[in-house]
Structure 1
Amino acid sequence: MSEYDDATRLETGDDPTQRHGTFHEEWMIGNAVNGGLVMTTALRALGEHLASDPTETTEHVDPVVLSAYFMTASQPGPFTVTTEVMRCGRKLSTGQMTIHQTGDDGRPVERMRAIGSFGNLTDLDVQRQASPPEMPPPEQCVSAEQAPPDFLANAKFLERLDLRLDPSTAGWALGKPSMRGVMRGWLRLRDGREPDTTMLMMALDALPPVAFELGLFGWTPTLEFTGHVRRRPEPGWLQVTLGSDTLGGGMMEEDAMIWDSAGNLVAQSRQLCGVRLPKAGG
């Protein structure tokens, strides 16, 4: 079993709407479990619920859209995913997911709430799609292992990935951010597991924050995330781009796009992040 499959593994209990798992410290970024892993775990729970629901007469196996709100930072330890099937249709089936953990006071703490839809992303006709950007091949890019040690010490999640950043967007790692608000890179799981449609949701939130290329190195927690999966990815490297054009009021948007090894656009997202700006004169 791959590290990713083990990290998103769920157990059922007496309640068919609930599944249980454990978040591991190895998937943390900063002081929280990576939000992408949290989302893919929730999607796995909804997919399992749909597969066992008698009203799901058309099997839907691919997550197509997810809208997630992050209430509090997920922490290493046990968690519970509660799922509710909202509608089963011919093309899409939709449900709600919530993730809770037990707080220090013994009460449940909601970590994330999301609505997602599943479909079947096979035999798709594509009339128009964005083309992947020109980038050096992975072997000519900057490995995440070359990031500053103090950053890597708080980014154990990156040890689960083989991430290679386009040198033109990796200046932040050398203390020379480009200030263009763009980051690009190649991505795959380090243990060799090939990507699938559920894993793409994690990949959309896997690169370092694009805020780093704006010279903002503080924590940028995701407040809301909307992701779309467009097709099943081919095996091999994923090509990921991030960009941000708007920063203000302590928030910024981050847009992501992913192409597979065949150049197909397979996923895209927009998320709203919190940003802590340095104090004037600080």
Structure 2
Amino acid sequence: MTPFVHPFDQAIELARAGDGTFSGRTSTHYWNAISPFGGTTVATLLQAMLAHPQRLGDPLSMTVNFAGPLQPGEFTVRVTVARAGRSTQHWQMEIRQAGDEQPAVTGTAVFAVRRETWSDTEATLPDVLPPGQLARYAPPVQVPFLQMYDIRYVDCDPLAGGPDSTTQCWISDVPPRRLDFPAIAAYCDSFVPRLFVRKGAARPISTVTLSINFHVDDAALARQQGRHAFGKARANAFNGGYYDQEGQLWAEDGTLLATTHQLVWFRE
């Protein structure tokens, strides 16, 4: 019997080509309207660094810039260590496709070896119903990647429209999958776009840049038993054809997994 491989793991699968270069292929399961779901693109870059033989520690932060749309088919990922110290490591990364002289995606990341220090978390998991007591959201727009996530909103219809762009929801993979760094990275881009929340309907948008700060290490993730993460997202401003989106992501036990911020282009 062929072992089951989760579609997400297939989507971020890379073949090492040597010297920090990997090859991959876009996934039909995680296709968005005109290009791959940005969350899997970010997760693929992270996967390349996690698999790199020079990796030091765990991901601390990453910023990904979407310079152009990826086309269906093969792509090349290149990740290189720009500078490394005893406990931190700085990376540069990009994705290219044949026939395009410029990179489609660029970015930077920081990995680090965390140490025991005084710790405190000010951001706390809101007091909400557990995912089992909420219904899975059925999005009106049927794009493939949305079928790969079970999203359960706790406070609102995300497309009701109105003056507040805040939403809160439970997120999990379909089928369920354990939480790891690539999954967290993808979840950080799974929030319904803030413009849709305010306007009550889909509009043309495109993420320009997305940043993630990770607040757990590999050991903390290994202790997680749940398959859901809780996300809270909001915008601060919409102007000049761009808006921002900030979010927080917790595990079911209240562990803060990541915080994220992105800037998005939109057209009215």
Structure 1 residue 44, shift from structure 2 partner = 1.2
For the residues of structure 1 that align with 2:20 and 2:87, how far apart are their CA atoms?
Answer: 23
Structure 1 residue 238, shift from structure 2 partner = 0.3
1:182 aligns with 2:149: no
Unpaired stretches in structure 1, ≥5 consecutive residues = 278-282
Write the deviation string for residues 1-32 of structure 1: whole angstroms up to 9, x where unpaired.
Answer: 2211111111122x422100101121012212
Residue identity opposite 1:38 in structure 2: T
Any runs of at least 4 consecutive aligned residues in structure 1 with deviations exceeding 6 A, and if so which? none
Give the alignment's Cα RMSD to 1 decimal.
1.9
| CA distance 1:17–1:34, change in 2 (3 Å) | same
Structure 1 residue 203, shift from structure 2 partner = 0.7
1:158 to 138, 142, 146: 146
Count of residues in Structure 1 that have an aligned counterpart in Structure 2: 257
Structure 1 residue 120, shift from structure 2 partner = 4.0
Structure 1 residue 225, shift from structure 2 partner = 1.1
1:253 alignment partner in structure 2: 244
Structure 1 residue 133, shift from structure 2 partner = 2.1
Residue identity opposite 1:87 in structure 2: R
TM-score by length of 1: 0.85
Structure 1 residue 114, shift from structure 2 partner = 0.6
Q: How does 1:93-242 map to 2 (within 5 A)?
A: 93-102=89-98, 106-120=99-113, 125-144=118-137, 146-148=138-140, 151-152=141-142, 155-166=143-154, 168-172=155-159, 176-215=160-199, 217-231=202-216, 232-233=220-221, 234-236=224-226, 237-242=228-233
| CA distance 1:185–1:126, change in 2 (3 Å) | same
Q: Secondary structure at the match of 1:6?
A: helix
Q: Secondary structure at the match of 1:200?
A: helix
Residue identity opposite 1:165 in structure 2: Y
1:4 alignment partner in structure 2: 8
For the residues of structure 2 that align with 1:40 and 1:122, how far apart are their CA atoms?
Answer: 25
Q: Which has more helix, going by share of residues?
A: 1
* Contact 1:241 1:257 (C-alpha < 8 Å) held by counterparts: yes
* Contact 1:225 1:269 (C-alpha < 8 Å) held by counterparts: yes
* Contact 1:224 1:273 (C-alpha < 8 Å) held by counterparts: yes
For the residues of structure 2 that align with 1:252 and 1:142, how far apart are their CA atoms?
Answer: 29
Write the deviation string for residues 111-152 of structure 1: whole angstroms up to 9, x where unpaired.
Answer: 2101011224576752232112233322343423x222xx02
Unpaired stretches in structure 2, ≥5 consecutive residues = none
Q: How does 1:19-98 map to 2 (within 5 A)?
A: 19-49=22-52, 52-53=53-54, 59-60=56-57, 62-98=58-94
Shifted more, 251-260 versus 211-220: the winner is 211-220
| CA distance 1:198–1:118, change in 2 (3 Å) | farther
For the residues of structure 2 that align with 1:212 and 1:124, how far apart are their CA atoms?
Answer: 41
| CA distance 1:76–1:265, change in 2 (3 Å) | same
Shifted more, 114-123 versus 242-251: the winner is 114-123
Residue identity opposite 2:119 in structure 1: V
